[in-house]
Amino acid sequence: MQNKKNIAVFASGSGTNFINIYNNINNGRVVVLISNNVNSGAVKFAKEKSVNFAIINSTVYSDVDVLNKQYEFILKSHKVELILLAGFIKKVPLNIIQIFRNRIINIHPSLLPKFGGRGFYGIKVHEAVIKSKDKVTGATIHFVNEEYDEGSIIMQKEINVHYNDTPNSLSKRVLQIEYALYLEVVNLFCDHKIKIVNNKVEING
């Protein structure tokens, strides 16, 4: 039987990418969900599927050092090998970025470096795209580093922006390409086909 990588998913909202990963990943297994939002759709799904989950936020852990160490404790206790961000609105703690260097992956709903960085998330990204009158947008999969949306890009996919698009219609179309793109990257990573060479991503296969 093929060994599967233990995956943690971080999610704050509806959890659609989390659900997609859980249902369709080929060579990994989701062993724990971490969320800052106890009422999120991601947590609801984790409960339904009996997926281990942990709530980590400043309400539960008022001391930031204790909070950051809790991430570390949960991930180590589940022997996590890969972290996937799926609509996670909190910044990943520095200690976790250091321990899991080049093993934390995020999906962003634009063609980075455009419309990335602090404050650009969710519908705000699509509002900015519409306002810019750009003709194309898309999704980006990238490694996570110390800065918002600045880690090495792994893969991108473009779609056209329609003349009558609204932020909501654009969001729905980008989300559809996110699903397949994220699965492709995760499977490549779990098959050891993604590596960093001189701070650039190389994909084999």
Residue 1 has pLDDT above 60, yes or no: no
Domain count, the chain: 2
**In the predicted model, what is the mean pLDDT of residues 158-164?**
97
- Annotated catalytic residue 142: no
Same domain, yes or no: 115 and 148:
yes
The span from the first CA to the last CA of the chain, in angstroms, equals 22
| Single residue among 47, 66, 100 that ends a domain in this structure | 100
**Given CA atoms 152, 154, 158, 161 in this order, what sign does their dihedral have?**
negative
Same domain, yes or no: 76 and 113:
no
**In the predicted model, what is the mean pLDDT of residues 63-67?**
96
d(CA 71, CA 93): 8
Residue-wise pLDDT for 10-29, tens only, equals 999 999 999 999 999 988 99
Same domain, yes or no: 18 and 51:
yes
Same domain, yes or no: 120 and 178:
yes
Residue-wise pLDDT for 182-196, tens only, equals 999 999 999 999 988
Residue 127 pLDDT grade (very low, low, confident, very high; cuts 50, 70, 90)? very high
| Single residue among 78, 100, 122 that ends a domain in this structure | 100
What is the predicted pLDDT for the residue at 2? 60
Residue 204 pLDDT grade (very low, low, confident, very high; cuts 50, 70, 90)? confident
140 three-state secondary structure: strand
Which domain covers residue 158, as residue numbers? 108-205
Same domain, yes or no: 121 and 202:
yes
> Which of 108, 126, 162, 192 is the catalytic position?
108
Rounded alpha-carbon distances, angstroms, from residue 113 to 45, 63, 116, 152, 205 = 32, 33, 6, 10, 25
Residue 148 has pLDDT above 80, yes or no: yes
